[in-house]
Structure 1
Amino acid sequence: MLTLVLAMVWHRRGQAVTLALLSLLAVASAVAAPAYLIAADRAVAAGQVATASTGELTLTVRGVQDATAGGGTDDFANLGGTLIALPGFRYFYSAETPTVGLEKTDRYPTRLVFRQDVCAHVTIVAGRCLFGESDVLLGERTADRLGLAPGDEITLAAASPDGSAGVPRFVPAGKPKALVVAGTYRAVQPGGTYWGRHGYFVGGADVGSGEPVFTTSMTMPATDRVRTEMAIDGVAAPGVLDVHRIDGLRAELRRLDQAAAELDDTLQIDTDIPELLDRIDEGRAASRLLVPVLAVPLVLLACFSIHLTVGYGADGRQSELAVVALRGARWWSRWWLAAGESLVAVLAGALAGCLAGQVLINAVAAVRFPGVGQAADWSSLRYAPIAALIALLAAVAAQRRQLTRPVAALLRRIPAPGAGRVPFGEAVLLVLAVLTGVQLVLSDGSLTGIGLFAPALILLTLALLLSRALLPVLGRFAAGALRRGRLGPALAGLQVTRRPGASRLFALLVAAAAVAGYAACAIDTGARGRDTQARLGSGAARVLTVQPVSARQLLAAVRGADPDGRWAMAVTQLSSGTDVPVAGLAVDSRALAAVATWPLDAESPATVAQRLRPVEAEPTVIEGPELAVDVTSDSDRLQLSVSVSSPDGEATVDLGRLRAGRATYRQQPLVCRHGCRINGLQVGGSGATQVKARMTIHSLGDRWLAGKSGELTTGPDGVTLAVTVAPSYGEVARLRPAGVPDPLPIAYAGAAPEAIKGLADDTLRVDPVAALPAVPQLGRRAYLVDLGYTGLLTSGTRRAQAAQVWLNPAAPPDVVDRLTAQGLTVVDDTGTAAVRERLDRQGPALSLGFYLLAAGLATLLGVGALVLTVAVDRGRRTEDLVAMRIQGLRRGPAGQATFWTYPVLVTAAVLVGMLVGVAGWRLTGWALPLAGVNPPDLPLPGQPRWGVLLWWTGAVLLPYLVAAVAGGRDLRRRVG
């Protein structure tokens, strides 16, 4: 019997090979999903590590030795032993103390730093590296600026902060120490993980040159120090943050926290590694939701394709099976002769498909996820036996009718009456599709439980329903063509619609195209969403975050670097301060149109900028260096202070207690030595009782507004302020520069706030002048104001919540140096490209690679089923058409019937399938987590572009047409 089955396989070896290849694709599709998930997990972890910040790759333990407080970190060395027990990290010890004596200014100290292995991470420009006690390395720019060279001596002394002069300054607080310049250095990768979170190379007007003085471990004990910051930095080695180590690393970090608390509760552990691990887990979770969404329909399609093609082949052998039944063969012989040929081919293909699926994913991972650091993973092969068994069961189930039908039914060449009724399985599929869809909606898009199967079941159900609806239409079209005498189209249509299993073939082709269409929708929507997040979520092509400064300082510095506002814009983040905070942005509106990435469907940025700043408002400016205020007071219980700022900094200058009568009060604050602007005045009282008084300011102009504790009038002698303050409650009256519109113009997205707190000394009323779909960087619930106005609204020296400089592509290469020269210190550099790279390495983007693979596999399954169908039909159609040719059928209609049957069929199926994919996407695509990890609230696209769908339709249709045309030409050649 086995010999007979093998002979049958050899006789129809073309069909057997095709069925084996189809089985291979089906089983490979089932194995591909878990294999891809394993590869994607590794890629998610590797991508997050590659785009992680220094803080997410390092662990820093800090301790302080303060000589004035008599404290120290006695257990600091013991903690080093605990850190060594944390495997996979390389540790570096460091110590740092502030000193004076090197720089001519006293506004900031010089950082004297010991750091282990520093010579291996700097380039020695001149001289030699560190060797003995008292050796130091100077930065090359610092040495050039101060005229120092190797061999020169410098003297440093411990520094202590002193704020008695109105601005922070540092004074000597220890014995001077003579040091020798061993050499000058240039940092190698100043942003690298070796340097940890210490910000050694951050420079600026308030922090210094950004080039610390490095010394040896022997120098520190020999130096008289007031305060020493000690640290142990652990840098994660390659492989430490691999996906298989995440849980173990979390446990080890928890043990480290406990050890630090037991040793010394003053020790501080700084690391963002847990945030990185959480982000990796979130990306993996997104992958485990996205991949099954299309893996499920792909596996069902694979089973359907085996079931269909085996059944179609069995239909083609019905006459043989009828002869076997007529000869009285026993049931097991009949079963083996009916199923053996298909089972042999399916089993061979299934065994090869188990391996092929894993090899395919290994190849895809090597191209799609290069350098993830691990060899190919074969663990997904544990699913191979299950996939092979399912393939065999599908093959057996496809032939059940041929095994149970009577001889008369086996001899029929057209469907029996009633064959068009809806099978029980399709009815069950329809009910499941409805249930899973309802579950998806009720769970608000949660892809858990049966809701995870909603996209698959909806796609397959729509494909089956449309195939059942459209084939009768095609049959009526063929019948109408026959009545009109158009024999070619009539024969082509009747050959398809009257063939047993035609509806299932059409449904399979529609379902395969639907999977590809769904994949197209997801891939294009996801790519556009990442582009929107990168562009609108960043706010500009490049975003520089600077150390905190006031809004006035930021605006002046950016305008100093870019006077015309062609490539730079100052930006700060704000908050409404209400019970439901609404984030806000303060921007330099004159540069808004040139720099900001603007949302689609919004008014032009130039129009919005004009509405945000309808009038100019200028501050009061003094030339310096002296601040003089001419005041007449009717009380000697008032106290006056003035808030001033300049490129050199900001300060609140206390002019002291006012005398009754007229007097001029003078101060020379350091920030005003080159001139400064007056940002506000504050009037308080002294004593235990309430103070009611009037004062007239003669020398600062008349462009002022008063807060709620004062009443302001303007006269020829200046501005007169009537105040009522209670010193015991700390009440004060404030004056701020006039010129800012009241209410304040804002552009908003979402619901406009009624008022803004925290931006000025008092609550501000707002005037919504423009509605936006989203505010760049903040999203759909935010507002936008002019930074020039906000700088005038605040009378103190409050620093901005988040100070940034947005740049467009026209920014010069030395933009950081220009901003540094204006007193800003850049601490982060990101933008559209960096955000897009980070999004492309997250779980959602990586998971969509499987969608492309699934579309290709689904198309190959459909093409394979088509090829096998053509091969099975070829013999019987040739017999029919040859007989018709003998009866007088002309060559033209016969050629039309042979050549156009399958191209028309696959074209209709692909077009309908793509529409099914789009419909399935509209019903379920909204639930897919395509936006990345913790996405901002932005108007992300929810639908694909029609142009992209047309391109995908052509790409999917092409292989079908090639197979259909080849089959039609072969059939026409046989008919003649």
Structure 2
Amino acid sequence: MAQLGLLAAAILLLVAQAAVEQRRPEVALARLRGRSREGAGRIVMGELAATVAIGLPIGFALALLLTTLVRWFLLPDGVPFEVPWYSVVALAASAVVCAVAIWLAARPVQRLTVSALLRRVSRERARAFGIVDILAVALAVFGLIGLATGSLEGPLALVTPTLVALAAGLVASRLAVPVAGASGRANLRRGRIGPALTAFGLERRPTLRKVVTVVSVAVALTVFAANALVVGDRNWQARAEVQTGAPAVIDTDSRNPTSLLATVRAIDPTGTLASPVAIVRQADRSSTATMAVVTKDFEETSFAPPGEPYRLGALAPPDIAPVQLSGSRVTGRLAWDLTIPGDDSTPRPAGQSGAPVSPTIGPGSEEPNELRVSVTSPTGQRLTRLIAQIPLRGKGSAELNGLLLCPDGCRLDGLEFRKTDEQVSQVSGTLSITGLGIDGKSLGISAPNQWNPFVAPPTSTSDKLEQVPAGADTLALELNSTGFAVALSHADVPAVVPGLLAGPVPPGGTAQGFDAIGLNGAPMVAAAQQTVDTLPVLGSQGVLVDYETLARLGGRLPDAGTLSVWVADPAEADSVATQLQAQGVGVLARHSTAAAKDRLDESASAWGLRLAVFTGGMGVLLAALVVLVMTVTGWRVVARDLAALHMSGVPLKELRRSLVREQVVLVLVGTVVGVVCGAVSSWVAMPLVPLFDSAADPVPALELAPDALAIVGSAVGAALVLVAVGWLAAVGAGRRITLRRIRESL
């Protein structure tokens, strides 16, 4: 609105100047009859003041009518009719601006001599750069530099596009005068009478500066506003996609990730229509939340935020299938060869001999090591089971026959070796298990690809538990334990879960390993395979992992988690929800990208950008008004001049065509200048345009690059309107070219 107000003030000044220009002969006559300079000027100011006095209340009434129509047809129901106090203040400010414009327009007339008042064109003034031109250029350059460096903010920054167009229009109109003169002389030498008449008309008449300047500003406003609206719509769509994640989202009451995955697979076995998604947030809202998606379904069912494509292949679940344990005892053949440092062979407390003992011998000697199997229960709880005690040092073997204690079955999570003797600083050596199985049936998990590489804890970097080559169905391990325990996890779930990280690495971690929360609420270690700017739903902070990988751990979703089903086709969302409910999965809420986009479209920022487009359209209408006013106020002089040329032998048809070309060239020059200024302003000023009501919402990086189609389309539309108005005005003025105009007096 500030830019439209600035344009309206400039047009008001131009119209006042045109009116004063038309009254120059009357002012000269009043001066010849004895009126003073001030008295003659007051005649013109009085006429214009009377026009303003009539127009202001009419404009205020039209504004109230327009707001009423907007309230009826655009705003939500229940918005009351009111006349706020600041609208009255705006009316008073408009009156002051009008008074100042009238005074500025009349001042030159008061300073001119009678002979100067009778002269219609001043070639020297038309060619020279004035103080206003220099000041406008200086302000525009200052604004552009401030926008480019980010040092300019506030109202001046928002009106900079208008200042740039105003300065460019003034400069272009000044430069066009000598260019038009040179073009006219060149065409005259070639015998091209029509183009020469057009060029000389542009050089002589004062309308060039006014029309080019106003058209430049109006087109620049239109181009800038149209581009801002298109760029805003692009970012609103991107934010809506980030907020929802998929075209349609169904929030469920399920707390079991594995069960929901099976249910969704029963509905859509291909994963191209529906896919489960889990989100687990921690108590601290600023901490890193976890999002789990089925990576192979993501591109089919979800929106990927703009930017670098997600490397989802790095998150795919391992090819190793989970090992389900069902039985009573863990069996196999255990062999060991362990040593401890020599300095650790110190006298033992009473009752401890220090001699190696078999796995079946209890206390009374060195504390034995422990071999444990870690499992996850169907509820997701991670448990360890002691399956053997191993001498602290020495070499030997024994049958493995430990209790599993999983009446409902469980999943193999890994193996764990514990050094329980606190008097010993280190245990190292080898450990092998042949035929590791349940109730005498081997599990067949001795291959190296069945186990994850050992990850040493940060506090004991020399620890290791690594698989080494061995015979068939034998799991051979080389170990070194300086702490409490070393563990080897089964490869169906990576020891370090790969993920896509948005935001900073959580405190205490690195990109190669940081703490996160799993789908069952248990801590896990994740690694950033890729750092991204934005994640769906989570926004600028979170980690995205594979759903199927974490679902293998079992368990229930914590209270701070949500299990949803993302649907690729909104038209199928009702069908998917119905099938979920038919299989016992309740539907808590439903969301869609279209609904999120509608909310953003109704935001204050969106309405502000639409108002900017309205402002641009009003600017074009005001520019068309200026073209008409310039034609109406100067048609007598133009018709008289061209009538004289007609009497000299120039065909009337050629004269009328030259007049049309003159108007079209004025509009096109202003349009070109306005398009350039609008495009430049779209580059430098768009970061200052508020596209959203709140910057705290999850958003992708704003995409502010100008939209070429919006710029070209708005420029063509504005040019068509202004060219049509200029053409009609020129045709109307051309019809008044008759020989009797020569007899008319000033």
TM-score (norm 2): 0.77
**Secondary structure in 1 aligned to 2:489?**
strand
**Secondary structure in 2 aligned to 1:490?**
helix
- 1:3-30 CA-to-partner distances (Å, cap 9, x unmatched) read xxxxxxxxxxxxxxxxxxxxxxxxxxxx
Partner of 2:654: 893
Contact 1:652–1:797 (Cα < 8 Å) also in 2: no
Matched, 1:755 2:512: yes
Of the three residues 54, 59, 77, the one matched with 1:348 is: 54
Q: Following TM superposition, by how much is the alpha carbon of 1:305 offset from its aligned partner in structure 2, in angstroms?
A: 0.5
Q: Following TM superposition, by how much is the alpha carbon of 1:784 offset from its aligned partner in structure 2, in angstroms?
A: 5.2
Matched, 1:952 2:699: no
Partner of 1:529: 235
Tell me: CA distance 1:651–1:773, structure 2 relative to 1, closer, same or farther (3 Å): closer
Structure 2 distance, partners of 1:725, 1:745, is: 27
Of the three residues 126, 129, 132, the one matched with 1:422 is: 129
Partner of 2:451: 704
Structure 2 distance, partners of 1:712, 1:361, is: 77
Q: Following TM superposition, by how much is the alpha carbon of 1:503 offset from its aligned partner in structure 2, in angstroms?
A: 0.9
Q: Once structures 1 and 2 are overlaid, which stretch shifts more, 414-423 or 540-549?
A: 540-549
Q: How does 1:679-698 map to 2 (within 5 A)?
A: 679-680=413-414, 696=433, 697-698=436-437
Contact 2:388–2:400 (Cα < 8 Å) also in 1: no
Contact 1:555–1:588 (Cα < 8 Å) also in 2: no
Q: Following TM superposition, by how much is the alpha carbon of 1:598 offset from its aligned partner in structure 2, in angstroms?
A: 3.2
Contact 2:499–2:526 (Cα < 8 Å) also in 1: no
Q: Following TM superposition, by how much is the alpha carbon of 1:349 offset from its aligned partner in structure 2, in angstroms?
A: 1.4
Contact 1:619–1:678 (Cα < 8 Å) also in 2: yes
Partner of 1:403: 110
**Secondary structure in 1 aligned to 2:465?**
strand
* Paired residue type of 2:686: G
Tell me: CA distance 1:383–1:902, structure 2 relative to 1, closer, same or farther (3 Å): same
Of the three residues 857, 861, 869, the one matched with 2:618 is: 857
- 1:175-232 CA-to-partner distances (Å, cap 9, x unmatched) read xxxxxxxxxxxxxxxxxxxxxxxxxxxxxxxxxxxxxxxxxxxxxxxxxxxxxxxxxx
Tell me: CA distance 1:707–1:337, structure 2 relative to 1, closer, same or farther (3 Å): closer
Tell me: CA distance 1:565–1:361, structure 2 relative to 1, closer, same or farther (3 Å): same
Q: Following TM superposition, by how much is the alpha carbon of 1:886 offset from its aligned partner in structure 2, in angstroms?
A: 1.4
Q: Following TM superposition, by how much is the alpha carbon of 1:743 offset from its aligned partner in structure 2, in angstroms?
A: 8.1
Partner of 1:808: 568
- 1:451-498 CA-to-partner distances (Å, cap 9, x unmatched) read 444334333223323333344433432332233222222222322331
Structure 2 distance, partners of 1:402, 1:308, is: 14
Structure 2 distance, partners of 1:943, 1:762, is: 40
Contact 1:519–1:851 (Cα < 8 Å) also in 2: yes
Contact 1:351–1:388 (Cα < 8 Å) also in 2: no
Partner of 2:120: 413
Q: How does 1:241-280 map to 2 (within 5 A)?
A: none
Q: How does 1:719-758 map to 2 (within 5 A)?
A: 719=475, 731-738=484-491, 754-758=511-515
**Secondary structure in 1 aligned to 2:161?**
helix
Could you say what the CA RMSD is over the residues aligned between the two structures, in angstroms?
A: 4.0
Structure 2 distance, partners of 1:381, 1:721, is: 87
Structure 2 distance, partners of 1:324, 1:968, is: 32
Contact 1:707–1:762 (Cα < 8 Å) also in 2: no
Contact 1:308–1:505 (Cα < 8 Å) also in 2: no
Structure 1 distance, partners of 2:588, 2:312, is: 28
Structure 1 distance, partners of 2:219, 2:70, is: 22
Higher RCO (C-alpha under 8 Å, 6+ residues apart):
2
Q: Following TM superposition, by how much is the alpha carbon of 1:609 offset from its aligned partner in structure 2, in angstroms?
A: 4.3
**Secondary structure in 1 aligned to 2:380?**
strand
Tell me: CA distance 1:812–1:517, structure 2 relative to 1, closer, same or farther (3 Å): closer
Q: Following TM superposition, by how much is the alpha carbon of 1:521 offset from its aligned partner in structure 2, in angstroms?
A: 1.5
Q: Following TM superposition, by how much is the alpha carbon of 1:723 offset from its aligned partner in structure 2, in angstroms?
A: 7.7
Q: Following TM superposition, by how much is the alpha carbon of 1:668 offset from its aligned partner in structure 2, in angstroms?
A: 5.0
Contact 1:575–1:758 (Cα < 8 Å) also in 2: no
Q: Following TM superposition, by how much is the alpha carbon of 1:406 offset from its aligned partner in structure 2, in angstroms?
A: 0.4
Q: Following TM superposition, by how much is the alpha carbon of 1:527 offset from its aligned partner in structure 2, in angstroms?
A: 0.9
Q: Following TM superposition, by how much is the alpha carbon of 1:412 offset from its aligned partner in structure 2, in angstroms?
A: 0.9
Of the three residues 619, 625, 629, the one matched with 2:322 is: 619
Q: Following TM superposition, by how much is the alpha carbon of 1:390 offset from its aligned partner in structure 2, in angstroms?
A: 0.9
**Secondary structure in 2 aligned to 1:830?**
strand
Q: Following TM superposition, by how much is the alpha carbon of 1:342 offset from its aligned partner in structure 2, in angstroms?
A: 2.0
Q: Following TM superposition, by how much is the alpha carbon of 1:851 offset from its aligned partner in structure 2, in angstroms?
A: 0.5
Of the three residues 376, 379, 382, the one matched with 1:644 is: 376
Contact 1:639–1:658 (Cα < 8 Å) also in 2: yes
* Paired residue type of 2:130: P
Partner of 1:310: 16
Tell me: CA distance 1:710–1:867, structure 2 relative to 1, closer, same or farther (3 Å): same
**Secondary structure in 1 aligned to 2:515?**
coil
* Paired residue type of 1:966: L
Partner of 1:389: 96
Partner of 2:678: 917
- 1:287-321 CA-to-partner distances (Å, cap 9, x unmatched) read xxxxxxxx222111111111101101211221222
Contact 1:557–1:823 (Cα < 8 Å) also in 2: no
- 1:344-397 CA-to-partner distances (Å, cap 9, x unmatched) read 222211222223234323323433322254334443233211112211221221
**Secondary structure in 1 aligned to 2:195?**
helix
**Secondary structure in 2 aligned to 1:413?**
coil
Structure 2 distance, partners of 1:812, 1:307, is: 59
Tell me: CA distance 1:469–1:645, structure 2 relative to 1, closer, same or farther (3 Å): farther
Contact 2:207–2:630 (Cα < 8 Å) also in 1: no
Contact 2:501–2:543 (Cα < 8 Å) also in 1: yes
- 1:377-423 CA-to-partner distances (Å, cap 9, x unmatched) read 44323321111221122122112111221011111121152443222
* Paired residue type of 1:430: V
Partner of 1:843: 604
- 1:710-734 CA-to-partner distances (Å, cap 9, x unmatched) read 62547656546788889xx9x5554
Contact 1:439–1:450 (Cα < 8 Å) also in 2: no
Contact 1:740–1:789 (Cα < 8 Å) also in 2: yes
Q: Following TM superposition, by how much is the alpha carbon of 1:449 offset from its aligned partner in structure 2, in angstroms?
A: 6.4
Q: Following TM superposition, by how much is the alpha carbon of 1:796 offset from its aligned partner in structure 2, in angstroms?
A: 8.3
Structure 2 distance, partners of 1:645, 1:657, is: 17
Matched, 1:787 2:556: no
Partner of 1:869: 630
Partner of 1:142: none
* Paired residue type of 1:422: F
* Paired residue type of 1:738: A
Q: Following TM superposition, by how much is the alpha carbon of 1:848 offset from its aligned partner in structure 2, in angstroms?
A: 1.0
The count of corresponding residues between Structure 1 and Structure 2 is 662
Structure 1 distance, partners of 2:724, 2:651, is: 26
Structure 2 distance, partners of 1:837, 1:463, is: 39
Partner of 1:630: 331
Tell me: CA distance 1:832–1:683, structure 2 relative to 1, closer, same or farther (3 Å): farther
Tell me: CA distance 1:317–1:301, structure 2 relative to 1, closer, same or farther (3 Å): same
Tell me: CA distance 1:627–1:815, structure 2 relative to 1, closer, same or farther (3 Å): farther
Q: Following TM superposition, by how much is the alpha carbon of 1:857 offset from its aligned partner in structure 2, in angstroms?
A: 1.6
**Secondary structure in 1 aligned to 2:705?**
coil
- 1:755-791 CA-to-partner distances (Å, cap 9, x unmatched) read 13225877566655xx878654556787754333455
Structure 2 distance, partners of 1:632, 1:797, is: 36
Percent of pairs with identical residues? 23
Contact 2:416–2:486 (Cα < 8 Å) also in 1: yes
- 1:534-590 CA-to-partner distances (Å, cap 9, x unmatched) read 2245332123445685765665554354322121233445899xxx98877543122
Unaligned runs of 5+ in 1: 1-294
- 1:224-245 CA-to-partner distances (Å, cap 9, x unmatched) read xxxxxxxxxxxxxxxxxxxxxx
Contact 1:546–1:804 (Cα < 8 Å) also in 2: yes
- 1:100-134 CA-to-partner distances (Å, cap 9, x unmatched) read xxxxxxxxxxxxxxxxxxxxxxxxxxxxxxxxxxx
